[in-house]
């Protein structure tokens, strides 16, 4: 039986961003310097394959600082942590290494700056996401309000409307965030924001690539974990821009299930991308799986080049 033809558009850029790359290297270099085990608070990035590969070389993942012994290094994840977490590690006299993405650190610093200037901060983001928890934990909780939706933006009450600022989670949808900020700026003309937008370059670039592929593709597959905010946003962006089917592929089993139900009588155009915490190895595995089932015409779909690099902490250089 002849294999069906498909056009596979491969998004570029895709996969690991500079912040994720740095966080993974921090764990690897900490193990090289201090031996194993080293402890990591929360998943270093939201991807099981990455977490499992680091566990194999000596990383132990814990939920809280007090689950790690005081005589071993503790690493804080790329999503950032509240000040209370850093204080706890300091009180226990632990060696702590911060793998927070520098772009998240920028949001932390802005939040603290607004607080120091007496402003109430409206943080646009998703409740319980570790990045949001970390950002909200930079200042006393009564000085920050979470805005998740346009309805929240319309209904939020602030006592001093001339003393407010906003910040955003770095992995949001550009379009959704723009709609929320438009409401906040029209309600509070004096609201202060960041000098440059908080949504990170990698989130922006991956979403731009998906929007561009959406014009060409019937289906878009996004490799990424179910708890990865930036990967989930890529699926939403694809659907919002007219793709009939957009699917998150967290593992090979999900891909197999998808391929089993996949039928198309014409040559379909499939777009493939990966969230900022998904390694390129998963992209290549998925391509080889598709090649087993289909005659694949692979097309590189590059929208921009990325050459951002972040330095490792001084302790590890």
Domain locations along the chain:
4-16+201-302, 18-98, 102-199
Average pLDDT estimate for 92-98: 97
The share of the chain scoring above pLDDT 90, in percent, equals 87
Identical fold for domains 4-16+201-302 and 102-199, yes or no, is yes
Give the pLDDT score at 50.
93
Between CA 6 and CA 271 the distance in angstroms is 10
Output the pLDDT for position 59: 98
Which residue is listed with tokens 């991308």?
273
Angle, CA 137 vertex, CA 278 and CA 274 arms, to 5°: 10
What pTM does this model have? 0.92
Asked about 131 being catalytic, the answer comes back as: yes
Q: What's the pLDDT score for residue 265?
A: 59
How far apart CA 308 and CA 278 sit, in angstroms, is: 17
Q: What are 58-81's pLDDT values in tens digits?
A: 999 999 999 999 999 999 999 999
DSSP state of 119: P
Res. 222: pLDDT tops 80: yes
Q: Check pLDDT > 90 for residue 204.
A: yes
Provide the mean pLDDT of the chain.
94
> Residue 1: pLDDT above 90?
no
What does the pLDDT average to over 31-36? 97
The mean pLDDT of 120-130, rounded to a whole number, is 96
Measured in whole angstroms, the distance separating CA 313 from the mean position of its chain's CA atoms is 21
Q: Is the pLDDT of residue 148 over 80?
A: yes
Strand-pairing partners, residue 147, are 124
**Given 43, 88, 110, 131, which residue is catalytic?**
131
H or E element in which residue 164 lies: strand 164-168
Model confidence over 149-163: pLDDT tens digits? 999 999 999 999 999
Q: What is the pLDDT of residues 272-294, one digit of tens each?
A: 999 999 999 999 999 999 999 88
Domain covering 18-98: architecture: 3-Layer(aba) Sandwich (3.40)
**Top-confidence residue, 261 or 213:** 213
| Helix residue ranges per DSSP H, the chain | 18-34, 48-56, 83-91, 102-116, 130-136, 150-155, 174-187, 201-214, 229-240, 252-261, 280-293
pLDDT at 304: 95
Structure tokens given for 201: 């370059």
Q: Indicate whether 264 pLDDT > 70.
A: no
Within 13 Å and on the Cβ side, how many CA atoms surround 110? Answer: 24
Task: Decide which of 3.40.50.2300, 3.40.1010.20, 3.40.50.300, 3.40.50.10860 is the CATH code for 102-199.
Answer: 3.40.1010.20
Cα distance between residue 317 and residue 312, in whole Å:
6
pLDDT band at 17 (very low <50, low <70, confident <90, very high): very high
Asked if residues 55 and 7 have their Cβ atoms less than 8 Å apart, the reply is no
Q: Confidence class of residue 3 from pLDDT cuts 50, 70 and 90?
A: confident
- The pLDDT confidence band at residue 87, using thresholds 50, 70 and 90, is very high
CB 270 within 8 A of CB 217: yes
250 within 8 A of 224, measured Cβ to Cβ: yes
What CATH number belongs to 4-16+201-302?
3.40.1010.20
Q: Can you say how many angstroms the Cα of residue 176 is from the centroid of all Cα atoms in its chain?
A: 16
């Amino acid at each position: 039986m002849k294999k069906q033809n498909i056009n596979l558009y491969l998004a570029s850029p895709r996969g690991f961003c500079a912040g994720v790359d740095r966080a993974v290297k921090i764990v690897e270099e900490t193990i090289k310097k201090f031996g194993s085990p080293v402890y990591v608070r929360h998943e270093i990035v939201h991807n099981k394959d990455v977490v499992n590969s680091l566990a194999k070389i000596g990383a132990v993942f814990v939920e809280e600082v007090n689950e790690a012994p005081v005589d071993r290094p503790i690493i804080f994840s790329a999503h950032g942590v509240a000040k209370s977490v850093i204080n706890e590690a300091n009180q226990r006299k632990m060696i702590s290494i911060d793998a927070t993405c520098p772009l998240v650190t920028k949001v932390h610093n802005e939040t603290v700056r607004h607080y120091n200037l007496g402003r109430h901060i409206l943080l646009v983001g998703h409740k319980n996401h570790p990045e949001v928890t970390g950002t909200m934990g930079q200042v006393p909780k009564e000085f920050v309000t979470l805005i998740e939706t346009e309805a929240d933006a319309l209904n939020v009450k602030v006592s001093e409307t001339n003393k407010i600022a906003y910040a955003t989670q770095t992995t949001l949808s550009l379009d959704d965030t723009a709609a929320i900020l438009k409401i906040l700026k029209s309600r509070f003309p004096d609201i202060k924001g960041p000098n440059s937008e908080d949504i990170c370059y990698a989130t922006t670039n991956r979403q731009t690539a998906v929007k561009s592929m959406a014009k060409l593709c019937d289906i878009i597959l996004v490799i990424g974990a179910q708890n990865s905010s930036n990967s989930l946003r890529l699926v939403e962006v694809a659907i919002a821009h007219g793709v009939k089917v957009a699917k998150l592929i967290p593992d090979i089993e999900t891909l197999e299930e998808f391929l089993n139900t996949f039928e198309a009588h014409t040559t379909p155009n499939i777009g493939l991308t990966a969230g900022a915490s998904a390694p390129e190895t998963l992209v290549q595995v998925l391509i080889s799986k598709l090649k087993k089932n289909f005659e694949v015409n692979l097309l590189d779909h590059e929208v921009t080049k990325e050459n951002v690099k972040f330095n490792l902490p001084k302790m590890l250089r």
